[in-house]
Structure 1
Amino acid sequence: MLDNSRNILLACALSALAGYVDGIGFLHLGGLFVSFMSGNSTRLGVSLAEGRWWEATGAAGLIALFVAGAAGGSLVVRSRSSYCQCWILLIEGALLAGAALSHAFGMSGLAIAGIVMAMGLENAVFQIEGGGGLGLTYVTGALVKVGQLMAVALTGGSRFGWTPNLLLWAALVAGCVVGALAYPRINLAAIWFAAAVAFALSAVLAIAARRRKGRKD
């Protein structure tokens, strides 16, 4: 999927967006995540072991919302529309804008729900119909790929095949830095910027899809 400059740029932009949102969510939730469900799963297990049922319920709720968002994204992919990437990002932008609006009206719980679903949804942007896709809101897989492709490079394979996955990781970290700087200043209102980016990317992809369709016709 990271086989051309267009996909690499889009994946890095979306990974940076996810990092930005996750940095904000992490600070707001005090140690839970809005996109990194491995961390929430660990928190769930530890909370269950220690009998902290309320914390366990919170972690489980975040996981369920993320899965619901991922399922919604997959349904869009299964529509087989040539504009499915655009639709996914448009819905993501709407969820993020709704979350920012909910925060403005003092409904932080609803805001977090919208954010988590948006992050689950985003992972369908590069989904292969009927199968898996490229994880954009978590980078453990990308780092594994970096190590594996470095080994390939050291044994005579492509010298720089590992760089796209490293860029994906770096984009998420950079986005997280920006989100962590924004949150102390404007709280969850910082999500407005994430919504704007999602809408802008959706528009860019819609234009590109229309041009490709025009060339085919």
Structure 2
Amino acid sequence: MLDSFRNIALACALSALAGYVDGIGFLHLGGLFVSFMSGNSTRLGVSLADAQWWQAAEAFGLIVLFVAGAAAGSLVVLGGGVERQPWLLLSEAVLLAGAALSHAYGLPGLAIAAIVLAMGLENAVFQIDGGAGLGLTYVTGALIKVGQLLAVGLTGGPRWGWAPNLLLWAALVAGSAAGALAYARINLAAIWFAAAAALAIGAVVAAAPRRARA
């Protein structure tokens, strides 16, 4: 899927957005994640072993919400049509804006729920015909591909085939740093910037030639 400049640019923009949001969520939740469910799954297991039932319930709740968001995104994809990417990004923007509003009205729990749903939804942007698609809110798979494609390059394959996945990782790291800096200054209100970014990315995708989104 990282086979064109357009797809690489879009994937990196969305990975940076996910990193930004996850940096904010990580700081707000004190070590839990809004997009990295492997980390939350580890926290769930450790909390169960330590009989920390509230922490385990919190981690499990985040996982359930993320799966629900991913399922909602897949429903949009399964509806078909080349307009699915803009609709997914618009839905993400609405959820993130709802999260910012919830924070403004003193409802941080609802804000986090909307953020996690948005992160699950984002992973359907590159999903095709109900397949697995491209993970955008976590980069373990991207790093694995960096290593694998680097080995391919060293054994006579494409020399730079690993570079797009490394860019995906770098985008998420940069976004996380930006999210942490924003959270330090304005708390969860920093999610407004994420909502605006999702809306802007969706507008760019919608304005692209229809053939590029088919």
TM-score class, shorter: over 0.9
The alpha-carbon deviation at position 94 of structure 1 amounts to 0.1
Conservation of the 8 A alpha-carbon contact between 2:41 and 2:59: yes
Whether 2:5 is the aligned partner of 1:5: answer yes
Give matches, 1:10-29, under 5 Å. 10-29=10-29
- SS at structure 1 position matched to 2:54: helix
Aligned residue for 2:195?
195
Q: What is the CA–CA distance in structure 2 between the aligned matches of 1:98 and 1:199, rounded to whole Å?
A: 13
Aligned residue for 1:206?
206
Normalising by the residue count of structure 1, what TM-score does the alignment of the two structures yield?
A: 0.96
Q: What is the CA–CA distance in structure 2 between the aligned matches of 1:203 and 1:156, rounded to whole Å?
A: 40
Aligned residue for 2:140?
140
Q: What is the CA–CA distance in structure 2 between the aligned matches of 1:163 and 1:63, rounded to whole Å?
A: 30
Aligned residue for 1:70?
70
- SS at structure 2 position matched to 1:157: coil
Aligned residue for 2:170?
170
The alpha-carbon deviation at position 130 of structure 1 amounts to 2.2
Aligned residue for 1:101?
101
Aligned residue for 2:79?
79
Give matches, 1:118-133, under 5 Å. 118-133=118-133
Q: Which runs of 5+ in 2 are unaligned?
A: none
Q: What is the CA–CA distance in structure 2 between the aligned matches of 1:129 and 1:205, rounded to whole Å?
A: 19
RMSD across aligned positions (CA): 1.2
Q: What percent of counterpart residues are identical?
A: 76
Q: What is the CA–CA distance in structure 2 between the aligned matches of 1:24 and 1:150, rounded to whole Å?
A: 32
The alpha-carbon deviation at position 81 of structure 1 amounts to 1.6
Q: Which runs of 5+ in 1 are unaligned?
A: none
The alpha-carbon deviation at position 206 of structure 1 amounts to 1.0
Number of residue-to-residue matches in the alignment: 213
Q: What is the CA–CA distance in structure 1 between the aligned matches of 2:210 and 2:69, rounded to whole Å?
A: 28
Aligned residue for 1:111?
111
The runs of at least 4 aligned residues of structure 1 exceeding 3 Å deviation read none
- Structure 1 residues 10-69: Cα deviation after superposition (integer angstroms, max 9, x where no partner): 000000000000000000000000000000000000000110000000000000000000
Q: What is the CA–CA distance in structure 1 between the aligned matches of 2:122 and 2:130, rounded to whole Å?
A: 16
Q: What is the CA–CA distance in structure 1 between the aligned matches of 2:183 and 2:31, rounded to whole Å?
A: 14
Q: What is the CA–CA distance in structure 2 between the aligned matches of 1:8 and 1:170, rounded to whole Å?
A: 12
Q: What is the CA–CA distance in structure 1 between the aligned matches of 2:201 and 2:150, rounded to whole Å?
A: 31
The alpha-carbon deviation at position 212 of structure 1 amounts to 2.3
